[in-house]
Amino acid sequence: MSGLRVLRSGPLSLLQDGGRRGWQHLGVSPGGPLDGQAAAWANRLLGNPWGTPLLEVALGDVELRAEVDTWLALTGAELPASIDGQPLPGWARFALRAGQCLRLGFARSGQRAYLAVAGGFRAAPVLGSVSTQVREGLGGLDGQGGKLVAGDLLPCAAAHFARAASVPWRYRPDYRAAPLLRVIVGGDAPAFAEEQRQAFFAQPWRLSAQSDRMGARLQGEPLRAPPRQWSLGVGRGAIQVPPDGQPIILQADHQTMGGYPLLGWLHPLDLWRLAQCPAQQALRFTPVGIGEAQAQLRQFYRFFRG
C-alpha cells in the first residue's frame, strides 16, 4: 500500500486514534490524543468518523513525502506548514499530490499538532486500537509502541475533495493565552483541610518540565494532603496530591491504579487545553459543578460524534 513516507519524524510523532478502551482492569491505560478537540476537528474536516487514526506531532519538525494523491487536515499547535515551500493555513484541509513534500516546522504556540488523512492512516490494531503507548509497548505502525522514525511509511488511500475547507475562527483556541482550567471537586477533597482546598484554587501554579503523556505535574506552594491507606482505580483528569504536595493531573497514558489522595478531576474539555501548554506555563484553576461539566461534554460529543 502507498501512503506518506517519513523523511523527518520530529521529537515525538505518534499514531493515535480514539484510545484503547476497556482494558484498564488489566493495567492497560487508554491512551489516545492528548488534545482530543484538535484531533476531532482534524478528522471532521475530512469527514472521517470519530477516532479515525491520525498523527499527533509534538513540537513539529516533521517532513513527509506523498506516494499517493490524497487530502490531509492540520489542526492544533500553531506551526509553519508548507507543501514544496508554499505556505499552508492551519486548521484546514488541503490536497497533497504524489511526489510533493509536506513540511511542518517547530511550533510557535501550543505543543501538539494533529495531522489527519482522508480515510485515516492504516495500521494493525492492538487490543482494539492503533494508539501508540511507548511506555507499555503497544500500538503504532509496528504494534509495539514505536514512535515514528525516518523511513517509515504511513499507509493511506487516495482521496479527492472538491475544495479546501477550514475551521471557523471562533472555534480555534488561542494557545498563547494563559488558561483558567475548571476542576470538578471530589474524590478525597472532603478529607483535605478547608484552607488546603482553597489554597489550590487561590495560587498560580506552573507546569513542570517533567510533565509527559502520563501526567501533567504542577509546581507551586505545596499542599498538605490527607493520608491514604489504599489504592484505587484512576482515570484521566484525576488530580493526585503526592506527599511532596505538588499535584499531578493524569493524562492519556496514565497508570490505571493510584494511591495518592485525589482532590478532584479536571474538566474533560480543559484537559485538552492543558495538553497544549508549554513547560513553565502559569496555570490557574476554578471549581465547576459536575452537572455543568456533563452538559458541556454532551454538547461536544453531539457535535463531533452525532
Distances (CA, A) of 145 to 129, 132, 149, 236, 259: 11, 5, 12, 20, 27
pTM of the predicted model, to two decimals? 0.95
Categorize the per-residue pLDDT at 228 as very low, low, confident or very high, splitting at 50, 70 and 90. Answer: confident
The answer to whether 264 and 186 are in contact (CB under 8 A) is yes
The answer to whether 132 and 146 are in contact (CB under 8 A) is yes
CA distance 180 to 35: 16
pLDDT (tens digit per residue) in 14-28? 999 999 999 999 999
Name the nearest CA neighbour of 1 among 91, 70, 73.
70
Name the nearest CA neighbour of 251 among 293, 206, 291, 216.
216
At residue 42, the pLDDT reads 98
The answer to whether 247 and 241 are in contact (CB under 8 A) is yes
Cell of 136: 507499555
Categorize the per-residue pLDDT at 164 as very low, low, confident or very high, splitting at 50, 70 and 90. Answer: very high
Can you tell me the mean pLDDT for 223-236? Answer: 88
Can you tell me the mean pLDDT for 147-164? Answer: 95
DSSP reduced 3-state for 115 = strand
pLDDT (tens digit per residue) in 79-125? 999 999 999 999 999 999 999 999 999 999 999 999 999 999 999 99
Can you tell me the mean pLDDT for 191-217? Answer: 96
Query: Percent of the chain having pLDDT more than 90?
Result: 94
- Cβ neighbour number for residue 246 with a 10 Å cutoff: 18
The answer to whether 285 and 267 are in contact (CB under 8 A) is no
The answer to whether 105 and 80 are in contact (CB under 8 A) is yes
pLDDT (tens digit per residue) in 246-290? 999 999 999 999 889 999 999 999 999 999 999 999 999 999 999
Distances (CA, A) of 41 to 46, 47, 51, 183, 293: 9, 10, 11, 24, 20
- Cβ neighbour number for residue 238 with a 10 Å cutoff: 21
Categorize the per-residue pLDDT at 231 as very low, low, confident or very high, splitting at 50, 70 and 90. Answer: confident
Element (H, E) at 92: strand 92-96
For the chain, domain boundaries: 3-171, 180-305
Which CATH architecture group holds 180-305? Beta Barrel (2.40)
Q: Which residues pair with 63 in a beta bridge?
A: 8, 103
CA distance 121 to 153: 10
- Cβ neighbour number for residue 196 with a 10 Å cutoff: 18
